[in-house]
Chains A and B, each alone.
Chain A
């Protein structure tokens, strides 16, 4: 069987492409453009400075005059939709998660004296992840015959959704750059984390297979027993700051970070997030040589891809939470260069057709500096989370539970007593010296 059809002719091939293009253009002109116009008449568009920015008559003029787009972009950036999907929300997290995967592969390769991804994307295999993603999308999704199909389908989506909900609670920069600024932010975080074991067990159980079932039960044991030290280790910070709001917790660290005073809490929290993330040495729910791939065994194609995406977004979220709680969030010296005064006041001229663009820049200097420091710290924490993968073997479940229930809970109580001691000695907290 040849790869090319027997009656293949290049002219037929071109003709089929031209046919497709013709029909797409025709249908778009006849149906698409009128539809867009009708939609623009009925949808309320943002009103800025008392003017309606975009109505059907002006819709196409923004192409000719880019200065019209600046206020529009600004209004989009400050909309909830942008926050949820793009900047402090899911898109930002997914981008950092992709960077994490690349860093993990290259770092692990260097540690193990090999090259790692190299060919895909010319420069050090930077497009390898994209290739893997395309492969996963094009793979067939196989569902076990006896699986509980609705739950089995829902589990990866729920996993990603829960991870995204977790991301939405993380404040990224000062000035309210957070999707959901909740007063009980820390409690909300733990409430969201509480969903992960439920989803894991549901997906493991619905696959109706032995290895996922064992993996799911292991994940349940691990997550439930490490949530307790995770919550207790943060209690010291809550005692000292007197707030559960994550933004206020960051604001309380403008002079010193909590890791300076509560190192034990930070260590306990770090070990607990390693276990929550199912990373080596705590990757028992996915222990390959024992239970194939644990609760991921029956996932195939993009379902597996979604779970991986969710777990890396979760990794980013936990690392960001560590930064927010212990490493001072976005605080750092101002290193971002200030924008030239004439850009802020007069705007810039750009392009072959000289267009005057007032209203730039879209973000202020403080915010960009905050994001820079936040990303640097988060990537540092992620790096430390990734590092044990090259150094440690997998731990056994009884040793894991022993660590969780005896050592970490004991240490987190020590941490609480340190915090209380600092509070009553009048060093920190409301009315403290520092």
Chain B
């Protein structure tokens, strides 16, 4: 009697040309996840992403804590984009409790969220650089990221996990000279990231390597349900800041970046363009922001929602990030469901990697703007 082999090994046994590679979880080219890749020579025959190594049960944990206690742990999935992760939750809870957020708080939220988006994208870009073997592109964003991390530290009190957004506004007001400091840093940051084009985006080797790698057509991008930079790189103009403006985004002039190629190069360039756009948004918000005023609506100590449910979504660094909250007249939410951009973008990875060369694997994989911890939650 022969025991039944798992499907991957069967294929390997049938055809000696096929070799199975376990890329991850202990592989420098994977995140906290595993890709089971079958290669025929240098070509990838099939790819089976296997997330779930960092599942922490954030959604279940949210059912045992009240609306305020949920704040610090719901940001854990993407600590380097923590403002954007908390954003839909706060919007949802505010709608459940019927709270109107002060205008200054709304502007400060937009600023914090855009700063955090830059921090996230810099981190992402650093890893994209090292995945392509470009060590300078690892060091530069990792260093320039400190500008905004320091700024956010002055603003929120924490360097990475800010827990800055609370239902009803923001946790605390910003320091007195914040506007000048922010404007100065944003201007310098913009000047600095424009230099990345010279060493990275206009690099002939990078272009020859990522151009035409893992092409996702417009129809496929919509059919597979991708979001964020992956979707916009395939020519779909879908930016929630523009399509479904929340807070004060409707009063700001937001330009959404769209490229038509749908390859790894376009997917890697969209976040960089997003950073430039974020700088514009921050400058506008700093101009229009009321110079003083309340930043937080005091809630009752243990607020209860009604028998209601709410779904809110925002544009995070990785695409649309939705939060579905069900309330059953209790201090704790009945259910909190996060619909994250990472997981949506992960779905198209097997389609993109099939038939690609093994050398394209990191270029395609990381260009999807995928953060394994967020996908697992």
For chain B, what secondary structure do more than half of its interface residues adopt (helix, strand, loop), or is it mixed? helix
Binds B, one of A84-92, A368-376, A386-394, A414-422: A386-394
Residues of B within 8 A of A346 (CB): none
Q: Are A394 and B357 in contact (CB under 8 A)?
A: no
Among A210, A289, A398, contact of B133 (Cβ-Cβ < 8 Å): A289
Distance A397 CA – B130 CA, assembled complex (angstroms): 18
Which residue on chain B has the smallest CB distance to residue A394? Answer: B133
| Given known A280-B133, A290-B362, contact A396–B357 (CB-CB < 8 A) | yes
Among A214, A287, A390, A399, contact of B136 (Cβ-Cβ < 8 Å): A390
Q: Are A292 and B28 in contact (CB under 8 A)?
A: yes
Enumerate B346-377 residues with CB–CB distance to A below 8 Å: 357-362
Enumerate B276-305 residues with CB–CB distance to A below 8 Å: none
| Given known A398-B357, A399-B209, contact A393–B19 (CB-CB < 8 A) | no
For residue A395, CB closer than 8 A to chain B, the reply is: yes
Residues of B within 8 A of A395 (CB): 205, 208-209
Q: Are A393 and B206 in contact (CB under 8 A)?
A: yes
Which residue on chain B has the smallest CB distance to residue A113? Answer: B143
| Given known A112-B140, A290-B359, contact A392–B205 (CB-CB < 8 A) | yes
Q: Which 3 A-B pairs have the closest CB atoms?
A: A394-B133, A112-B139, A289-B29
Residues of B within 8 A of A288 (CB): 28-29, 130, 133
For residue B134, CB closer than 8 A to chain A, the reply is: yes
Distance A420 CA – B72 CA, assembled complex (angstroms): 75
Q: List 18 A-B contacts (CB under 8 A).
A: A112-B135, A112-B138, A114-B139, A211-B21, A281-B205, A288-B133, A289-B28, A289-B133, A290-B358, A290-B362, A292-B28, A390-B136, A393-B134, A393-B200, A396-B357, A396-B359, A397-B357, A397-B359
Distance A283 CA – B133 CA, assembled complex (angstroms): 9
Residues of B within 8 A of A210 (CB): 19, 21
Distance A302 CA – B63 CA, assembled complex (angstroms): 53
A213: min CB distance to chain B, Å: 8
Enumerate A202-249 residues with CB–CB distance to B below 8 Å: 210-211, 214
Distance A292 CA – B131 CA, assembled complex (angstroms): 11
Distance A399 CA – B359 CA, assembled complex (angstroms): 11
Other contacts beyond A112-B138, A211-B21: 11, CB < 8 A: A108-B135, A112-B143, A210-B19, A290-B29, A292-B28, A393-B129, A393-B132, A393-B134, A394-B133, A394-B209, A396-B209
| Given known A113-B139, A114-B143, contact A281–B133 (CB-CB < 8 A) | yes
Among A108, A290, A391, A394, contact of B199 (Cβ-Cβ < 8 Å): A391
1/0 per residue, CB under 8 A from B, across A280-306: the answer is 110110011111100000000000000
Distance A287 CA – B140 CA, assembled complex (angstroms): 21
Chain B residues in the interface with A (C-beta under 8 A) = 19, 21, 27-29, 42, 129-140, 143, 199-200, 203, 205-206, 208-209, 357-362
Which residue on chain B has the smallest CB distance to residue A392? Answer: B205
Which residue on chain A has the smallest CB distance to residue B359? Answer: A396
Distance A173 CA – B290 CA, assembled complex (angstroms): 76
Distance A391 CA – B139 CA, assembled complex (angstroms): 12
B140: min CB distance to chain A, Å: 7
The size class of the interface chain A forms with chain B is 20 to 34
Enumerate A379-434 residues with CB–CB distance to B below 8 Å: 389-399
Residues of A within 8 A of B358 (CB): 214, 290-291
Which residue on chain B has the smallest CB distance to residue A114? Answer: B139
Q: Are B139 and A396 in contact (CB under 8 A)?
A: no
Q: Are B134 and A284 in contact (CB under 8 A)?
A: no
Q: Are B208 and A112 in contact (CB under 8 A)?
A: no
Distance A61 CA – B54 CA, assembled complex (angstroms): 73
| Given known A280-B133, A288-B28, A289-B130, contact A397–B139 (CB-CB < 8 A) | no
Distance A180 CA – B209 CA, assembled complex (angstroms): 43
Q: Are B205 and A112 in contact (CB under 8 A)?
A: no
Residues of B within 8 A of A391 (CB): 136, 199, 203
Residues of B within 8 A of A45 (CB): none
Which residue on chain B has the smallest CB distance to residue A397? Answer: B359
Q: Are B42 and A393 in contact (CB under 8 A)?
A: no
Residues of A within 8 A of B361 (CB): 290
For residue A111, CB closer than 8 A to chain B, the reply is: yes
Q: Are B137 and A393 in contact (CB under 8 A)?
A: yes
Residues of B within 8 A of A396 (CB): 208-209, 357, 359-360
Enumerate A261-320 residues with CB–CB distance to B below 8 Å: 280-281, 283-284, 287-292
Residues of A within 8 A of B136 (CB): 111-112, 390-391
A348: min CB distance to chain B, Å: 50
Q: Are A392 and B360 in contact (CB under 8 A)?
A: no
Which residue on chain A has the smallest CB distance to residue B130? Answer: A289
Residues of A within 8 A of B134 (CB): 392-394
Q: Are A289 and B135 in contact (CB under 8 A)?
A: no
B52: min CB distance to chain A, Å: 22
Which residue on chain A has the smallest CB distance to residue B365? Answer: A289
Distance A411 CA – B360 CA, assembled complex (angstroms): 28
Residues of B within 8 A of A280 (CB): 133, 135
Interface centre among A283, A287, A393, A396 (most CB of B within 10 A): A393
| Given known A214-B358, A288-B28, contact A113–B135 (CB-CB < 8 A) | no
Residues of A within 8 A of B200 (CB): 393
Residues of B within 8 A of A112 (CB): 135-136, 138-140, 143
A293: min CB distance to chain B, Å: 8
Residues of A within 8 A of B133 (CB): 280-281, 283, 287-289, 393-394
Q: Are A393 and B205 in contact (CB under 8 A)?
A: yes
Which residue on chain B has the smallest CB distance to residue A211? Answer: B21
B19: min CB distance to chain A, Å: 6
Residues of B within 8 A of A398 (CB): 42, 357, 359
Distance A290 CA – B357 CA, assembled complex (angstroms): 11
1/0 per residue, CB under 8 A from B, across A340-375: the answer is 000000000000000000000000000000000000
Q: Are A399 and B143 in contact (CB under 8 A)?
A: no
Q: Are A392 and B27 in contact (CB under 8 A)?
A: no
A395: min CB distance to chain B, Å: 6
